[in-house]
Amino acid sequence: MNFKSFLFASLFILSTILQAQTEGSGGKSSSLTLGFQGGLNVSKFQTELDSTDVSARIGWQCGMTLRYGNTFFIQGNLELGQSSVELVTPDTALINVQSKVYRTFMSVPVMLGYKVFKSDDGSSSVRLMAGMEASAILNTKVDEDLVYIEKDDFEPYSVYAVGGIGMDLWFLRLDLGLHYGLTPMIQGDETSKNVMGTFNIGFTF
């Protein structure tokens, strides 16, 4: 499945969740949760291009969440964010060139989840989630072109496998996620798959 197909399928699933809940509850969305969240990410990828080293940097993300279900649920997010890495590559035998890469993205993760713990009054729970994510790169900024890597060498989209754990406490949400890249970040380098950890704080209503 290519990126456009997965993105279309993700958006279709999100719209189906909303439509099914509205039709099935007569307008009362007791099983549908809408939320907003924001947080930080740390990303890093490997590359075999001419001894280039990659160091992780802190980025950010924010967006909205739709969740349908109770103990078992399906969840979809729409997120805008930026990830960042630092690359170091040799220019000559004595000089290394350092460059920071910033990638602004829009992502649509779709996950299945299970609440491994729920309080009797429903005010708190602990969730496990896993699924897939499509991410479109809106902009790539390289503050200094490297010898072997330039701005145009980065792929315009990525597909990830996603897993995470979360906690709900009344209207507050805490989430930890791991996003493992299934597609390369750099054209011609199949090893350059991004791994990103995320932490989000949000609220639901």
What's the rounded Cα separation, in Å, for the pair 163 and 75? 12
Which residues, listed in sequence order, are joined to residue 161 by a DSSP beta bridge?
132, 180
Give the CATH number of domain 3-204. 2.40.160.20
Indicate the length of the chain as a whole number.
205
> Could you tell me the pTM of the whole model?
0.83
pLDDT digit string, tens, across residues 10-21: 666 666 655 555
pLDDT digit string, tens, across residues 136-161: 999 988 886 665 677 888 899 899 99
